[in-house]
Amino acid sequence: MDGKQFHWRVRGIAGVLFLILLLFVWVLYDLQYVHGADYLAQSRRKIAKTETVEASRGDILDRYGRVLVTNRESYNVSLDTSFMEDVNGTLGRLLDICRTEEVSWADTLPISEDAPFVFTFDTASSSAVSNLYALAESIKKTSGLPDRTEADAIRSAAQAGESYSSPSAAAFLEALAEYYQIDPLLPDSELRALVGVRYELSLRSREVTYNAYVFAQDVEISFIVKVKEADLPGVNIDVTTAREYKTAYAAHLLGRVGPIYSDEWSVYQELGYAYNAIVGKEGVELAFESYLHGTPGKRNIETNDQGKVVSGDDNWVVDQTTGEVLAPDPGDNAILTLDIKLQEAVERALATGIGGLKSEDTQGAAAVVIDVRDGGVLAMASYPTFDLTTYTQNYNDLLADPLEPLKNRAIREVYPPGSTFKMVTAIGGLEEGIIEPDTEIRDTGRYLYYDDYRPQCWIYRDSGGLRTHGLEDVSGAIKDSCNVFFFDVGRRLGISLLEQYTAMFGLGQPTGIELSEATGWMDGPEYTESQGQTWYEGNTLPAAIGQGNSRFTPLQLANYVATLANGGTHYSAHLLKEVKSSDFSQVVERYEPQVLNQLDIEPENLAAVTEGMLRVTTEGSAKTYFKDLGVQVAAKTGSAQVSSATESNALFVAFAPYENPEIALAIVVEKGGSGSTLANIAAEILEYYFSAGSGMETVTTENTLLR
């Protein structure tokens, strides 16, 4: 009995093994004969290549460690048509998914999205228009395309606010659709969308532009799932990082990132950047690009015939010379001199203060707060401003806004300084021995030195109401802003020396700030002659009180006052405090204050000038706003006429505390009226700095090197 069971078991096992053998034979037959040709073709179509992997960009922090800009994981969609057997069909299905998921895609073709189709030269960027004509010539499809001069004329008319007629683009769109072999029976909107994507791909394949085509950026998981389910060959989901803004403030300072433009590629190519790298475009992102960018890595990857990566996620290339693994090295972190809480207070004070002005002509404003001890910028605001998180979506509206919110007025706009300039004239007169601190000059209402040119003091009234400042010394003249006093000092000093002292205080000169800035100019013979005009000796009078053709930036004004406050040390303005390694464990670089020049001002002369500024807030027009501040503030108001039909620009400069100064500030409001009306804005900023404990919320980042 036992023997029979044993034999049955042996036969059963043999039968199972036979079945398994048959299964293996069938699998081999299927692999080699049924699908052998397909698998062979696929194996031959596998592509091995080296891919550049961008490094994570460094963070941007304020002086107390508060994170202003960082990174978050993001998903982009890229296209590789070499894996698409039916390019139009694949792209059409992708566009359908985009519409369902409400995902926008990149399309710079300057033709309206819906019929009736017209060229959008009025809203397209100049590079987009140039690309259109370059590609049309390259593929020899110019039917229906207007002459380039007509496109330029339309753009010029739009920028000037003039009426224009947009030409039809139907014929040109039809020519492109024919070139791309797109079904002409498609609905208009679908045909236009498909042409737009094929156009973008052609720009790269024809080398009209070199920046990589990212079809869609920062897509949601639901979209990715739909794309994966559709199994679209050549449609890749790339894991990348996107900049994340942790503050709604300092937009003009922080700047933005973006792809490398065609006209930038040669520069970045020499630096070893990949053509599809993301780089700083403006602001701090651009200024500190070399620190923030990091070092990209290289890895070997293998893709199948669908364009999908089948290996190589961590297969980093090894340098054959050094043996170094070429994994990406994250960028360093930039710590700024900026105090983001103070920046918020300044932007808020500007917005609310301007809203309370009586002038209806006000267009824009700027304010700068600077550390008098080293030139570090603590806050720099431009009004109106914008939100970096919605910059791309709102770009066209921002560009069309007549108030120009994208302009950084603090460093890119120049203004006549008005009476805030009078301290330069005072220091020049005192240092050159033209006047002494106790020298008195009588204000007679009008300056009577010239027979044919007798400018008046601002307080002068005509017959029946004559009023003057009377005898004024330098401190009183600054407090009262007496024009006649400074007319006389400026005339005796002469324009040549006045220009020298202006330059020594950094007015009309580069400040050293790491961002792109306007330098402005000082009124004088050289500037006047450059404008094809003649300089007369009498032109020195308005120049001496800041009412001539001089133009300076708000940052220059703040730094000039800081130089007065610290006794004559003219520091370079700067935004960088230090650079730390990607893990915050090491200080890569620490900014050392840079002295641009030293003014050896006699102590009694400096005291006479700063005392006059103190009296502006204790006895003068601004005293109401500063009496309860808790610290003494030295200040000067100013107004500068820009047109007889509008209000003057309003200016206010100050430093505080009067003893042992810490900060200096400058405020400019376009067509804001009298400078004294800005005293409340300045007082609000100073009150925050001194009473709200600016910098009290110091943040210690993980792994930060303590010192």
CB 488 within 8 A of CB 449: yes
Residue 170: exposed, middle, or buried by beta-carbon count in 10 A (0-12, 13-18, 19+)? middle
Residue 559: exposed, middle, or buried by beta-carbon count in 10 A (0-12, 13-18, 19+)? buried
First and final CA of the chain: distance in angstroms?
89
CA distance 639 to 414: 14
Q: What is the pLDDT of residue 37?
A: 62
Q: How many other C-beta atoms are found inside a 10 Å radius of the C-beta of residue 220? A: 12
CA distance 167 to 113: 15
Q: What is the DSSP letter of 539?
A: G
Q: What is the pLDDT of residue 700?
A: 45
Q: Domains in the chain, start-ordered, CATH in brackets?
A: 107-210 (no CATH), 340-691 (3.40.710.10)
CA distance 23 to 31: 12
Residue that has been written with the tokens 């720009």 in this structure: 203
Residue 80 structure tokens: 């590789």
Give CA torsion, residues 250, 402, 553, 377, to 10 deg. Answer: 0
Residue 510: exposed, middle, or buried by beta-carbon count in 10 A (0-12, 13-18, 19+)? middle
CA distance 358 to 362: 9
Backbone φ and ψ of 118, nearest 5°: -135, 155
Residue that has been written with the tokens 């922080």 in this structure: 254
CA distance 194 to 197: 5
Residue 58 structure tokens: 């460094």
CA distance 616 to 607: 14
CA distance 682 to 659: 18
Residue 18: exposed, middle, or buried by beta-carbon count in 10 A (0-12, 13-18, 19+)? exposed
Residue 507 structure tokens: 């007015």
Q: Which mean pLDDT values do the consecutive 10-residue runs of the chain (707 residues) have?
A: 65 76 76 63 56 83 96 91 90 95 92 92 84 91 88 82 85 94 93 95 81 85 93 89 93 92 84 86 96 82 56 68 75 97 96 75 89 98 93 86 93 96 98 96 89 81 68 95 95 97 97 97 96 94 94 98 97 98 95 96 97 94 87 93 75 96 96 80 95 52 42
What radius of gyration do the chain's Cα atoms show?
34
Q: What is the pLDDT of residue 399?
A: 87
CB 665 within 8 A of CB 685: yes
Q: What is the pLDDT of residue 706?
A: 37
